Structure 1
């Protein structure tokens, strides 16, 4: 079993509340995950205003988290992310060491220096004169912090993804003591897959087993409209043995993040025997609390499936085959409506009918609006709203097929579509919009035939 498994709170966006952190730590303890790395980019005292100390009130809240984590068998790791650090300044070093000391005094034993998403060159000329290379300066800073760290010390380099064989990384591998762990995200910032071979390559460069900062289910910045609810997947089981560990960078929605997190815990436990779909069903039930809510969430996740682990599969949902079958029964979709959508999935047999699916989706919206897990309800609210609008358009489109002479029905579709599209949270992309337009064109053709 791999050494470090758990989560990173390392996104851009609202940091989790302390109660949300406690909830995640409880779940981690239940599932045997052992590491919580605290490093939210928008905690101002963590990054942008790192020179300011945390207040006694904040430290008391952190202290409770540290104790809870210890009781749950979780190592609470504090990230230090000194933006625009002046390596030649004794004042900056003393300030950073004081911040580390604040956390040592409340029981934190493990730390991580997070220098990701920072310039790849020195900000201050005297740093370049003193150290020569960024890797040299960063290695020196790591050692200053490591000397005062009784537990695990880790480091996120400024170059944290790619082929894994650059001069910068090779120098880090040479300079950093082997007892300093180094994080890596894979070939990409958000890697569609992670292989055993790539893990070995990067580990060889860094002269230690790399630890993965796995950017799933994180959904910050340009991904903020995607919920990332699908299971952990496309990671070879051999990565567990060849790496020093895997930590998941969680999504902006802490309760929704529990779904992929549970599947990751199952991946860690099962290794080669891991079954993503089975683990996902297990996670849906655990987080929602009942089979009916789990099914509703499954339908939403299926339609809101845009995520970096399968960038070409955004439309590979259960509705597409049903729509294909629907048009086949009517002799084909109207050609005048235009071409197929980009990234349409390969044709496959449909299970059920489109009308049955529309009714089930309508019920799913109701369930999602009344989820027993109220925190999950709040997390998913914008996507539930978007799904509700999409289902409304779908039902109107089917009504247009049934009533081709009703011009008012067609008008209502184009009155409602702008409102639905104004919600940028991603559910089914343009699939239902295109289907509705095809239905309108079909109605016009029927009118001309009659």
Structure 2
């Protein structure tokens, strides 16, 4: 089984768009990874969405031309997407003309891949003129999209034209999608995000159903590793999982929506590219580890440790296999068997490796990457320090079961307890979900247990 025809990246997130330099770097990486389509579609670009009728300034087009030329030289198509749905009157031929003119301004610099996105807008017709002209939203969108495509195709070369429907996930057999499928020009590709907006899994049956409804092989807009909106506290740098190996038989391809953090997205895109090229031989863990090694050959283990503390994502909502959780589980298992001191010592060693990883990353990784991931790196370091203090407190357990306990030991334990309480209280102000909740819960358990023992022994 071969890979996908379309293996792309869509800069389609909310929040600050990438810089032109970041886009150029991503296109360069895409070429290395044999990906073949970059789509410009940042939601916060006003001229892409809210002010779509306003032409792009010539300076922007000149800068965009550099991306187009870079793509041509490396086999990566550079597409322009426009998203007019918030203010669009579908029955207005003047707006059809305006949209085509804007596409043509980019066709003039060699763009031949175009996208029309009608996502994240109301699910009903908003304009009185449209309600009096069309039977449904789908009817209006088919009319408008087909006219734009035909007009554009008659005026310039069109390699591909991709359409994002207003209903782009969930039930793949709705009346809206059936109407889109029956009316949309057969040469236009249709986008779909899967069972959810950010789909944990994309099963074969999902692609089969929606492709049948749309009467064409669907192209997935995959919202991983994107981390906009309420996910802005997450850094999606874990393995790429949950995509059926049979999807190439019922899907034309994937557009990957990356993170706002361009450089931090690169190793994730590297592992995803392995799936897109050959799903049948793709191994998520192996591809992920290889991608980390390729991205940071001088500190791959430190980067992996950092990534293993940032596993919470739509693909892994509970952050399963968080490395710190594994360490704490191992401590608990050993402690239950009676090896508390040994288990606490091992946990302290693990905590120290987190600090070592932080220092390695700070001195080895590029400044651009360090700037992008700073909030997570700061809290990664603080969680390592907290785990160390909690493990040290755990190591004091055996002392409380001695026949006598001197005042110095009691005071030392009380001070360690107070310090841990202070550190835990500061985690309330954390801005990310780095490490999940495991270290905090472990620390609070140690606070409760050592506190109880202190109160008991203080009576002596």
Whether TM exceeds 0.5 here: the answer is yes
Closer, same or farther: CA 180–218 of 1 in aligned 2, 3 Å: same
Check whether the contact 1:303–1:315 (CA below 8 A) recurs between aligned residues. Answer: no
Match of 2:441 among 434, 446, 450: 434
1:64 is paired with a residue of what secondary structure? helix
Matched, 1:100 2:103: yes
Check whether the contact 1:319–1:354 (CA below 8 A) recurs between aligned residues. Answer: no
1:36 is paired with a residue of what secondary structure? strand
1:251 is paired with a residue of what secondary structure? coil
Matched, 1:130 2:130: no
1:353 is paired with a residue of what secondary structure? helix
By how many angstroms is 1:196 displaced? 1.5
Measured in 2, the distance between the counterparts of 1:162 and 1:270 equals: 26
Matched, 1:192 2:200: yes
Question: Moved runs in structure 1, 4+ residues, more than 4 A?
Answer: none
Match of 1:302 among 305, 308, 319: 308
1:418 is paired with a residue of what secondary structure? helix
Matched, 1:327 2:332: yes
Q: Deviations over 1:71-100 (max 9, x none)?
A: 110111110101310122233223222211
Measured in 2, the distance between the counterparts of 1:60 and 1:433 equals: 51
Match of 1:162 among 170, 177, 183: 170
Measured in 2, the distance between the counterparts of 1:332 and 1:443 equals: 19
Measured in 2, the distance between the counterparts of 1:285 and 1:324 equals: 27
1:85-124 to structure 2, matched below 5 A, reads: 85-124=88-127
By how many angstroms is 1:427 displaced? 1.2
By how many angstroms is 1:332 displaced? 8.3
Check whether the contact 1:45–1:52 (CA below 8 A) recurs between aligned residues. Answer: yes
- TM-score with structure 2 length normalisation? 0.89
Match of 1:238 among 242, 246, 261: 246
Closer, same or farther: CA 102–332 of 1 in aligned 2, 3 Å: farther
Matched, 1:21 2:27: no
Measured in 2, the distance between the counterparts of 1:302 and 1:429 equals: 11
Aligned to 2:161: 153
Aligned pair count reads 430
Match of 2:56 among 54, 63, 66: 54
1:407-426 to structure 2, matched below 5 A, reads: 407-426=414-433
Aligned to 1:365: 358
Measured in 2, the distance between the counterparts of 1:255 and 1:4 equals: 22
By how many angstroms is 1:266 displaced? 0.9
Aligned to 2:9: 7
1:131 is paired with a residue of what secondary structure? coil
Matched, 1:32 2:34: yes
Structure number with larger C-alpha Rg:
2
Is there any run of 5+ residues in structure 1 with no aligned partner, and where?
334-349
Measured in 2, the distance between the counterparts of 1:318 and 1:423 equals: 19
Is there any run of 5+ residues in structure 2 with no aligned partner, and where?
397-408
Check whether the contact 1:162–1:188 (CA below 8 A) recurs between aligned residues. Answer: yes
- TM-score with structure 1 length normalisation? 0.91
Q: Deviations over 1:168-216 (max 9, x none)?
A: 0000111012100000001110111111122111111000100100111
Match of 1:173 among 181, 184, 209: 181
Bigger mean CA offset, 190-199 vs 57-66: 190-199
Check whether the contact 2:238–2:310 (CA below 8 A) recurs between aligned residues. Answer: no
